[in-house]
Amino acid sequence: MYVPKGFRFSGVHCKIKRKRKDLGLIFSEVPCIAAGVFTQNVVKAAPVVYDLEILKKNPEGIRSVVVNSGIANACTGEQGLTNAKKMAEKAAKELGIPIESVLVSSTGVIGVQLPMDKVESGIEEAVRNLSEDPLPFAEAIMTTDTKPKLHSKKISLDGKEITVLGIAKGSGMIHPNMATMLAFLVTDASISENALKKLLKISVDDTYNMIDVDGDTSTNDMVIILANGLAGNVTIQEETDGFWKLYEAVHEVNQFLAEKIVEDGEGATKVIEVNVINAPDMESARLIARSIVSSNLVKTAIYGGDANWGRVLAAAGYSGAKFDPNRLDLFFESEAGSIKVAEDGQGLDFNEKEAKDILSEKKIRIVLDMKQGKESARAWGCDLTEKYVEINGRYRT
């Protein structure tokens, strides 16, 4: 795992949760340019509201992010906002930096106030335990995740080595326009504020905004990127060669993490990739891909190995996109092969056993050829199983 220059991390158990780590900290030796993308849910958790205000005022001076798991600090009123600010104040005090340079994040059960005595003692311990190892932080932000999610990438620009590191959490309450997922990216690249904001938004639109586990969009999701400039490269501006080179690195990290989130979906046994090709326009391709990957009927069919192609076309039809349904070809694919199940909007006489064998693999690809243009889009999701109900039926207990 590559770690960008000047960043340190920690993760501790502050006893919000019974056993596992539940408070994490990221710290940069110098101020960072920062950008964020946040939940589309009208009901926004206190940390989201707090961070939006901080990033309006101080996107060029962020030094730290402090995150707790186990309690979401959502639907907690004025006390929740006070507690979000207290998290930032405590981290700032312990690190010796301005409060305006600290972002906060929370994930977990909605409607419960944070135990601030535990959070504040956890922040003290986290500051004492800062190191170059990002794994403890990745472990500390997990809720129902079964494994930590990290990925890094190195590139060379202007003769300087630039590193991008991403750390994410997410397993359930995952739906396009982000979900109960958190992602924190750090890089030592030097980049302008506008370029960083644009780079992040473009990547998020094609990664975290194209995944689905269960159709629920959370109150807490956020993707934050910090760039501290310690790589020493010429400052990257919008639409330059350097911009696109850094974008490719950030996008690789985001796509890896997005796929790991759906792979770790609550109760999931299979990953589903929906590939919409030859669409009339990009917006239609995205709408249709997201609609198919979000369909509970499609998810359950994939879980059962049932080549119920009609559910796929139905999901495309209610996506909101305008298209000719009489030109659609549909394929199911996996490592076991590829089978065409519909042509020109109508079912084909296909081999059911062959189809079931294809759908029995761990990664399934649904390819919808619209034959109505040149645009394409991909979305990722997972199957929906009895285990998902079990996990979420006892989430608070």
pLDDT surpassing 70 at residue 107: yes
pLDDT surpassing 60 at residue 119: yes
Answer whether 299's CB lies under 8 Å from 383's CB. yes
pLDDT score, position 176: 43
**CATH at 347:** 3.10.20.340
111: left (phi over 0), alpha (psi -120 to 50) or beta: left
pLDDT score, position 206: 87
Beta bridge partners of 64: 27, 102
Q: Do 259 and 275 fall into the same domain?
A: no
Q: What is the mean pLDDT of the chain?
A: 92
DSSP 183: E
Q: Do 226 and 368 fall into the same domain?
A: no
Q: Do 292 and 192 fall into the same domain?
A: no
Q: Do 283 and 252 fall into the same domain?
A: no
Q: Do 61 and 105 fall into the same domain?
A: yes
Token pair for residue 189?
Answer: 């690249």
Q: In what order do the strands lie in the sheet with 346-347?
A: 211-212, 375-382, 271-279, 363-369, 329-334, 337-343, 346-347
User: Which range of residues forms the domain containing residue 21?
Assistant: 7-263
Beta bridge partners of 342: 330, 347
Token pair for residue 93?
Answer: 């005090």
Q: Do 237 and 278 fall into the same domain?
A: no
Q: Which of 224, 240, 263 is the last residue of a domain?
A: 263
Element housing 1 (H / E)? none
pLDDT per position as a tens digit, 336-381: 999 999 999 999 999 999 999 999 999 999 999 999 999 999 998 8
Q: Do 203 and 252 fall into the same domain?
A: yes
Q: Which of 39, 107, 163, 180 is catalytic?
A: 180
Give the least confident one: 186-190, 314-318, 388-392.
388-392
Question: What whole-number distance in Å separates Cα of residue 121 and Cα of residue 108?
Answer: 19
Question: Does 2 map to a domain?
Answer: no
Q: Which of 263, 281, 300 is the last residue of a domain?
A: 263
Q: Which of 144, 140, 135 is nearest to 180 (CA)?
A: 144
Q: Do 258 and 275 fall into the same domain?
A: no
Question: Does 140 map to a domain?
Answer: yes
Q: Do 63 and 99 fall into the same domain?
A: yes
Question: What whole-number distance in Å separates Cα of residue 1 and Cα of residue 390?
Answer: 34
Backbone torsions φ then ψ of 91, nearest 5 degrees: -60, -40
pLDDT score, position 178: 41
Question: Does 284 map to a domain?
Answer: yes
Question: What's the whole-number mean pLDDT along residues 285-304?
Answer: 93
Tally of domains within the chain: 2
Q: Do 122 and 212 fall into the same domain?
A: yes
pLDDT surpassing 50 at residue 179: no
In the chain, the percentage of residues whose pLDDT exceeds 90 is 78
Confidence at 382, pLDDT banded by 50, 70, 90: confident
Q: Which of 324, 341, 334 is nearest to 288 (CA)?
A: 324
pLDDT surpassing 70 at residue 201: yes
Question: Does 188 map to a domain?
Answer: yes
Question: What whole-number distance in Å separates Cα of residue 332 and Cα of residue 339?
Answer: 5
CB-side exposure of 304: number of CA atoms within 13 Å?
A: 11
pLDDT surpassing 70 at residue 385: yes
Q: Which of 57, 59, 144, 137 is nearest to 108 (CA)?
A: 144
Q: Do 257 and 276 fall into the same domain?
A: no
Q: Which of 209, 235, 263 is the last residue of a domain?
A: 263
pLDDT score, position 171: 64
Question: Does 309 map to a domain?
Answer: yes
In the chain, the percentage of residues whose pLDDT exceeds 70 is 93
**CATH at 180:** 3.60.70.12
Answer whether 174's CB lies under 8 Å from 229's CB. no
User: Is 180 designated active site?
Assistant: yes
Q: Do 60 and 202 fall into the same domain?
A: yes
Give the least confident one: 72-76, 88-92, 130-134.
72-76
Question: What's the whole-number mean pLDDT along residues 13-38?
Answer: 96
Selected residue with higher pLDDT from 18 and 84: 84
The alpha-helical segments, DSSP class H, found in the chain are 46-57, 77-95, 116-128, 135-140, 193-205, 241-263, 282-294, 296-304, 309-317, 352-359, 386-393
DSSP 174: -
pLDDT surpassing 60 at residue 207: yes
| pTM of the predicted protein model | 0.84
Backbone torsions φ then ψ of 212, nearest 5 degrees: -150, 135
Question: Does 341 map to a domain?
Answer: yes
Question: Does 1 map to a domain?
Answer: no
pLDDT score, position 70: 92
Selected residue with higher pLDDT from 311 and 267: 311
The dihedral through the CA atoms of 294, 140, 269, 338 has a sign that is: positive
